[in-house]
Amino acid sequence: MVELRAARDTDADAVGTIWASAWRDGHLGHVPEELVAVRTHASFLDRAAQRITDTTVAEVDGVVAGFIMVADDEVEQVFVDAGHRGSGVAAVLLAEAERQVAGNGHASAWLAVVEGNARARRFYERLGWHDEGAFQYAARHGDTTIPVPCRRYVKKL
Ligand SMILES: CC(C)(COP(=O)(O)OP(=O)(O)OC[C@H]1O[C@@H](n2cnc3c(N)ncnc32)[C@H](O)[C@@H]1OP(=O)(O)O)[C@@H](O)C(=O)NCCC(=O)NCCS
């Protein structure tokens, strides 16, 4: 059974570990090497700790299986541990992200997905998201940003 709950500080390692590994699954070969170089395992652990209050986790049998981060009207992160993909956990998380965006007062939600991340794009499209075209996402790293060619996906809530 999937249970959703707000992340706690003690979840930061689990969230960061899933994030580091799943990010590579969805992004390697599809983003600039400059971005891969700075997205180290340690960087994900740090960011998970910093962003824990924006995070909702999905637990399966008491173990964190995936998470979302929502910021205003943006679904910023949707990441599921490899062992839980194809199980429906991701859809439960995305529905919760949409609920949070609506709760923030918005009639539609958006997210960025890299062009070559075919599995994620298929997943979003199946759940009613639409590709609104190409744009450059400014991926933050410290005080700088790295432009990443992405697709902008939108869903009316
Ligand atoms: C994106 C993610 C959250 C989706 O969760 P999931 O459990 O894998 O999603 P599902 O299995 O329900 O759906 C994936 C769909 O892609 C399809 N798919 C699987 N591998 C694929 C591939 N290589 N190319 C295209 N489609 C693929 C699946 O068949 C399924 O479509 P279907 O339902 O029409 O059969 C998960 O794969 C993940 O965490 N990926 C790594 C991190 C990531 O990329 N996050 C998103 C960043 S924007």
CA of 119 to the centre of ligand 1 (A): 4
Of all helices (H) and strands (E), which one includes residue 84?
none
Q: How confident is the model at residue 66 (pLDDT cuts 50, 70, 90)?
A: very high
pLDDT in tens, 16-51: 999 999 999 999 999 999 999 999 999 999 999 999
Arithmetic mean of pLDDT, 145-155: 97
- How many Å apart are CA 64 and CA 66, to the nearest integer? 6
Residue from 122, 129, 131, 135 whose mutation best tests the ligand 1 pocket (most atoms within 8 A of CB):
122
pLDDT value for 96: 98
Closest Cα to atom 12 of ligand 1: 86
Q: Which residues line ligand 1 (CB under 6 A)?
A: 22, 25-26, 78-80, 85-86, 90-91, 113, 117-120, 122-123, 126
pLDDT in tens, 92-127: 999 999 999 999 999 999 999 999 999 999 999 999
pLDDT value for 82: 98
Range of the domain at 33: 2-156
Closest Cα to atom 21 of ligand 1: 119
Q: For residue 93, give the ligand 1 atom closest to its CA.
A: 3
- How many Å apart are CA 43 and CA 64, to the nearest integer? 19
CA of 63 to the centre of ligand 1 (A): 21
pLDDT value for 39: 97
pLDDT value for 3: 98
**Nearest-CA neighbor of 123 among 111, 135, 140?**
111
CATH number, residue 45: 3.40.630.30
b/e code 36-51 from CB counts within 10 Å (16+ = b): eeebeeebbbebbeeb
How many structural domains are present in the chain?
A: 1
pLDDT value for 59: 98
DSSP conformational letter for 23: H
